[in-house]
Structure formats: structure tokens, C-alpha cells
Amino acid sequence: MAFRIAIIGLLGITNFLRAEIVINEIHYNAEPNTAKDEFIELSNTGDETVDLSGWFFNAGVRYVFPSGSKLDPGEFAVIAEDPVSMLARYGVDAFGPYEGALSGSGETIELRQSNGLIADCVSYTNHFPWPVAAGGEGSSMELINPSLDNDLGGSWRSSQVIVLPEKVLLEASAPNWSWRRGISEASDPITAWTNPDFVQDKFWSQQAMPIGFGGVGSEVFNPAITGMRSVHTSVFFRNEFAIAEGEIPSKLLLRYVADDGIVVYLNGNEVFRSESMPRGALSFDATAETGGNETWLETQLVGVSGFLVEGSNTIAIQGFNATIGSSDFGVNIELIRPATDPEVAPAPSPGMANNVCS
């Protein structure tokens, strides 16, 4: 709730707290019921960063935030039944696991500050006026607006799927790709170059895809890069694409040609690694384990909603040859937001703005 009165029994003191940390989304009955996807989401509706160190849930579930936990204005924190499952399904890093389980029939969830004062409290049920679709039909329940009293059922709605048409976010052979020869690491630490705020140095060039040399299927390199064979095995690539307000997707379609291998990052998060590439951290002089593909392949990137943002997003790719003496190398990609299937069950939105928010 926007404002809350917390009654402290000792000496009958009444404390008035502005609940800037709000319980904003609750997923209490996953589909299927055996899925470990339940979570509570908090939102910082205030203007200052809040130190959550020692804050705790002691009703509904039990969890204590570790030292150093902070939540910036406008940001979200997810406390999960199983953080590993949360990362795999939604691409969201979550606190947890919590002890206990959220009740499928309803209960009270209580969040307290480290000094014991109530920060926020929601007593929900699985029947009207609370959102009934959150009770095992695949959706969560989301707060319509953080200024509303979140202890009232009418302040919540079941999460919704935004029906969107297919859209090409980054077309094949797109211009304005920045690329850098893998004669040394592109950054320190070695993955910093994949982040949106990375500043490119003088060693980066700009060119349209496809980028490479030699004969790679039907790809035409204009111009072909020179000086790679017998000199370096990898190339770094960066570009940007835009997502409109309210259109952050839960998955993307990546179409690619990769001779011999690629690793793909979105806003600094690895989202794809071709089968030809070894596991683990990859240095600038690493190689693919096998030859790649000279025809177009495609793969779905799932769980991307947790780290995509409205506005500008960064895609970064590191391409590799299998041998330093290889006679060819080439990369081309296309990034597509698939059309939304209107028959898909409503999906929760952990770690991001609620779909139903007004």
C-alpha cells in the first residue's frame, strides 16, 4: 500500500511508514503445479535507493535479504522459490530460495524492515475480488498501479499476454555493425565489451553484415576483411536494436550463418552459443571445436524479458574460426520478435514493469 500504519506492541507506539518498497507481483500457483516458478516481486516506488540488508519476510514465506542488498528507484527485486528455475525460464536473477511455500488458496505475505517494522503486507485469496486466473492458470497477479492499496483485491489483475505481430528487430545484412579483429581482448574484463555502456576504441571498424572472407555459402562480403588468415581466430561484433514501449518480448528468434562458431550476448548477457563452440570463458585466441554452418539456421532465445529494455538494446557477437589457418570466415544474423500466440496462457513479468500497470 502507498501508506501503512504499523502497530508496535511495545509501549503502544504507532509508527507511520511510507511504503516505498511495494509488493508488486505475486506468482503463488504455477502451471504445472510442480514447476518451481513461484515468486514475489518488490518495486521501489520512491526516489532514493533503499538498503534491503536484513529486511525479511516472516509471514507467507521466510527469507532474509543478505547484507549489501539494494534496490534503486524504479527497479524491481524478485524473491524466488527457486532462483535457478527463475533464471532458466525468465532470464531473471532472483534472490532466494525462500523457505516455505506460497499458499494456493490465499494467505498473508508480510515484509518487514531490519528493525522489525512492517514495510508492506498483502493478504490475498484465490477468489473474487482477487484475480482468479492467478490461482493455477499460468498467470501471476500484478498490481495495477503502485499507488493503489495492494491489500485490496480490486487493486490487482491477472498478468496478461501482449499480442504483438512479428517484427524484425535487426535485419539480415544490416548496416552499422561495429567490428574488431581478435588480435587481443576487446576489453578488461574480457566480457565488458558486450555491455551497452562500453566505449569502443580506435581498433573498431564499421561495416554492413555479412562480415568475413573466403567462400561461406552464398554470403557476399563487401568488402571482404583481409589479414585474418594465420593471424587471428576471432572477431568481435556489436550493434543496437530498439524495442518500443510496452513491447518487451519473452523470447526472440535468432537466424544466423556462423562459419565456424559464434557466442551471442544481449545487453551483456550470454543468450546463445553455437554447438561448435566449447563451454566456459573464451579468450580472443580461442577456436571453434568444429566447422560451422554455411547455410542459415535459427534458434529461439527464451527468457530474454529480464534483461531487455524499452528503447536501445545492444547485441554483441564473438565469431570464431576452427583453425588459425582457415581459408574462410563469416557471420551474418537476423533478430526477430516472433508474433505473440494469443492462445498462450498469460505470463508473469518478474523483474520488469507489470503488463497490466496503468
Domain-wise residue ranges, the chain: 3-158, 167-337
Residue 179 or 18, more confident: 179
- CA atoms of 178 and 206, how far apart (whole Å): 4
| Mean pLDDT of the 41-51 span | 93
Long-range contacts of 225-231 (CB under 8 A, 24+ apart): 225/179, 225/329, 227/181, 228/181, 228/321, 228/329, 229/324, 229/325, 229/326, 229/327, 230/324, 230/325, 231/181, 231/183, 231/324
Average pLDDT score, the chain: 87
d(CA 302, CA 344): 15
Question: Above 70 in pLDDT, residue 9?
Answer: no
Question: Which has the minimum average pLDDT: 67-76, 88-97, 281-290?
Answer: 88-97
pLDDT above 90 (res 124): yes
Place of cell 501503512: 4
Amino acid 18: pLDDT: 44
Nearest 5°: CA angle at 202, between 274 and 312? 55
Mean pLDDT value of segment 209-235: 94
pLDDT band at 248 (very low <50, low <70, confident <90, very high): confident
The 10s digit of each residue's pLDDT in 161-197 is 667 789 999 999 899 999 999 999 999 999 999 999 9
Q: In this structure, are residues 221 and 294 in contact, taking their beta carbons and an 8 Å threshold?
A: no
Bridge partners of 17? 4
Burial class from Cβ neighbours inside 10 Å (0-12, 13-18, 19+) for residue 243 reads: middle
For residue 118, the one-letter residue type is I
pLDDT for res 14: 35
Looking at the DSSP bridge assignments, the partners of residue 39 are 27, 80
**Average pLDDT of the segment spanning 336-343:** 78
Residue 11 confidence (pLDDT): 33
Side chain identity at 135, as an amino acid letter?
G
pLDDT over 80 at 30, yes or no: no
Helix (H, G, I), strand (E, B) or coil at 234: strand
* Percent of residues, the chain, with pLDDT higher than 90: 64
Q: Which CATH superfamily is domain 3-158 in?
A: Lamin Tail domain (2.60.40.1260)
Asked if residue 10 has pLDDT above 70, the reply is: no
Choose the weakest-confidence range: 53-57, 145-149, 173-177, 210-214. Answer: 145-149
Grid cell for residue 119: 514495510
Asked whether the whole model's pTM tops 0.85, one would answer: no
Q: What is the mean pLDDT of residues 44-63?
A: 93
The contacts of residue 235 (CB under 8 Å, 6+ apart) are: 179, 180, 181, 182, 211, 225, 228, 318, 319, 329, 331
Per residue, the 3-state secondary structure of 14-80, as one string, reads: EEEEECCEEEEEEECCCCCCCCCCCEEEEEECCCCCEECCCCEEEECCEEECCCCCEECCCCEEEEE
pLDDT band at 349 (very low <50, low <70, confident <90, very high): confident
Res 8: pLDDT? 33
Does 3 have pLDDT greater than 60? Answer: no
Residue 306 pairs with which residues in a beta bridge?
A: none
Other residues' Cβ atoms within 10 Å of the Cβ of residue 49: 12
Q: Report pLDDT for 186.
A: 96
CATH number of 167-337: 2.60.120.260
90 — phi, psi (to 5°)?
-115, -10
pLDDT at site 4: 37
* Per-residue model confidence as pLDDT tens digits over 250-297: 789 999 999 999 999 999 999 999 999 999 999 999 999 998 888 999
- Taking alpha carbons only, the member of 177, 228, 183, 223 closest to residue 200 is 177
Whether 291 and 326 have beta carbons less than 8 Å apart is answered as no
| Most confidently predicted of 16-20, 45-49, 133-137, 189-193 | 189-193
